[in-house]
DNA sequence: ACGAAAGTACGATGGCCGTCAAACTTCGAT
DNA sequence: ATCGAAGTTTGACGGCCATCGTACTTTCGT
């Protein structure tokens, strides 16, 4: 109602909160990575070795569900997200994950056959 | 009412089926190990370095639930089970797991802090 | 200024899974 | 032969989570 009374929210203001990786438990990581769709996302980011927008990774789910999965991954400290135009970019927090859970990421993405 | 017509079922006949480990997918393993109770069981077997009966591992759940968890672990190819008297023994299939999913077991049991 | 593109927010829904209690089975000991 | 110990089986229940459609927001081109 208040005609544009709210401050204009743009660009950087849209970036969601990212957790400190050291506060993440193994339990959280496993709950995030037990889902095949989310593990697929991580696998793509892992082999791409660069940030990817949500759209570039095609998933067997609707857009709203995809958003949900990216959110879970971010909240688990596994990816970082930021905006580039209308696209939301996603990057794997590889080094941090490796530091917090040595060997885990490699063991999971290596699990080819699934 | 065939008086004892059924063949007496004893000892070895009670051992449940164990899957060939190479038929197990990473997805199955993760679904098994995402549960904290089951991961605790695996952790105990891992550090004990010997077979343990269900009773020796104390769990924060009822006996029937414990049975359920051991079953899941067996069906996921992670443990083998056999009877010793009234006790059911459980052994970690460590070498087979390591062969099928290199580095996974170590990464998971190392996750101390949860 | 408009429209399309790329996601997001919000319920609603459906299925799966961890949990338990109660009744039962199997075995060892007395 | 009985009892107790150790698990199992079955059925029921509750909660969580992946999924979707719809409506909405932000940004970029034109």
Please state, in angstroms and rounded to a whole number, the distance separating the CA atoms of residues B43 and B97: 14
Q: Which residues contact B110 (CB under 8 A, 6 or more apart)?
A: A101, A102, A103
Please state, in angstroms and rounded to a whole number, the distance separating the CA atoms of residues A79 and A72: 9
- Whether B7 shows a pLDDT value over 60: the answer reads no
Specify whether the CB–CB gap between A91 and A24 falls below 8 A: no
For residue B82, what pLDDT band results from cuts at 50, 70 and 90? Answer: very high
Please state, in angstroms and rounded to a whole number, the distance separating the CA atoms of residues A16 and A12: 9
Specify whether the CB–CB gap between B44 and B20 falls below 8 A: no
Partners of residue A110 in chain B, C-beta under 8 Å: 101-103
- Whether A14 shows a pLDDT value over 80: the answer reads no
**Top-confidence residue, B9 or A15:** A15
**pLDDT digits 0-9 by tens, A61-89:** 999 999 999 999 999 999 999 999 999 99
| Plot region of B65 (φ>0 → left; ψ -120 to 50 → alpha; else → beta) | alpha
Please state, in angstroms and rounded to a whole number, the distance separating the CA atoms of residues A82 and B36: 33
Distance, in angstroms, between A104 CA and closest chain B CA?
5
Kindly state the tokens that stand for B81: 């089970």
Strand D: positions under 7 A of a protein C-beta atom = 4-11, 17-23, 25-29
- Whether B112 shows a pLDDT value over 90: the answer reads no
Buried b (16+ CB within 10 A) or exposed e, A18-27: eeebeebbbb
Residue A61, CA: closest nucleotide via C1'? Answer: D19
Q: pTM for this structure?
A: 0.91
As a whole number, mean pLDDT of residues B46-62 equals: 98
């Amino acid at each position: 109602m208040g005609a544009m009374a709210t401050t204009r929210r743009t660009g950087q203001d849209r970036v969601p909160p990212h957790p400190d990786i050291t506060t993440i438990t193994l339990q959280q990581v496993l709950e995030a990575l037990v889902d095949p769709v989310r593990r697929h996302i991580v696998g793509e980011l892992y082999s791409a070795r660069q940030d990817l927008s949500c759209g570039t990774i095609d998933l067997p789910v609707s857009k709203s569900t995809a958003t949900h999965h990216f959110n879970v991954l971010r909240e688990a400290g596994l990816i970082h997200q930021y905006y580039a135009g209308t696209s939301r970019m996603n990057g794997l927090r590889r080094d941090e994950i490796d530091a917090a859970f040595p060997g885990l990421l490699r063991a999971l993405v290596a699990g080819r056959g699934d």
